[in-house]
């Protein structure tokens, strides 16, 4: 039995996850375009679009969080401290280099 488009529907959770994934992908493309852009008007427009999609991505994330579709585990203080120490070492290496 062949399914038609009208027989296939996404749940709210699946639709929001798809939207979140698409916004993240768009942000990656805009970030790449921003790093490759060589003229200021182009970079300004790309940055504007990146910022708009970052806001949309966060709004979708908040909706998923509010509906219980996305769980965020709080980071342990030890993990935060370890990562802060690691990045501080990298920063010192960059400054010294």
pTM of the full predicted structure?
0.70
Please tell me the distance from the alpha carbon of residue 11 to that of residue 32, in angstroms, as a whole number. Answer: 32
Q: Is 31 domain-assigned? A: yes
How far CA 70 is from CA of 7, 20, 64, 67, in Å, comes to 27, 11, 5, 8
- Which range of residues forms the domain containing residue 61? 11-72
The structural domain count of the chain equals 1
Q: State pLDDT tens for residues 2-19.
A: 666 666 788 999 999 999
Residue 62's pLDDT is what?
A: 97
Q: Is 65 domain-assigned? A: yes
Q: Is 43 domain-assigned? A: yes
Q: State pLDDT tens for residues 16-62.
A: 999 999 999 999 999 999 999 999 999 999 999 999 999 999 999 99
Q: Is 78 domain-assigned? A: no
Q: Is 80 domain-assigned? A: no
Confidence of residue 1 (pLDDT cuts 50, 70, 90): low
């Amino acid at each position: 039995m062949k399914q038609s488009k009208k027989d296939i529907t996404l749940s709210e959770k699946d639709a929001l996850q798809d939207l979140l994934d698409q916004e993240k992908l768009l942000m990656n493309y805009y970030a790449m375009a921003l790093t490759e852009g060589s003229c200021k008007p182009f970079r300004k427009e790309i940055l504007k679009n990146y910022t708009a999609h970052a806001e949309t991505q966060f709004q979708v994330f908040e909706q998923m969080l509010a509906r219980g579709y996305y769980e965020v585990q709080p980071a342990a203080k030890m993990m935060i401290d370890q990562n802060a120490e690691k990045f501080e070492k990298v920063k010192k290496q960059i400054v010294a280099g």
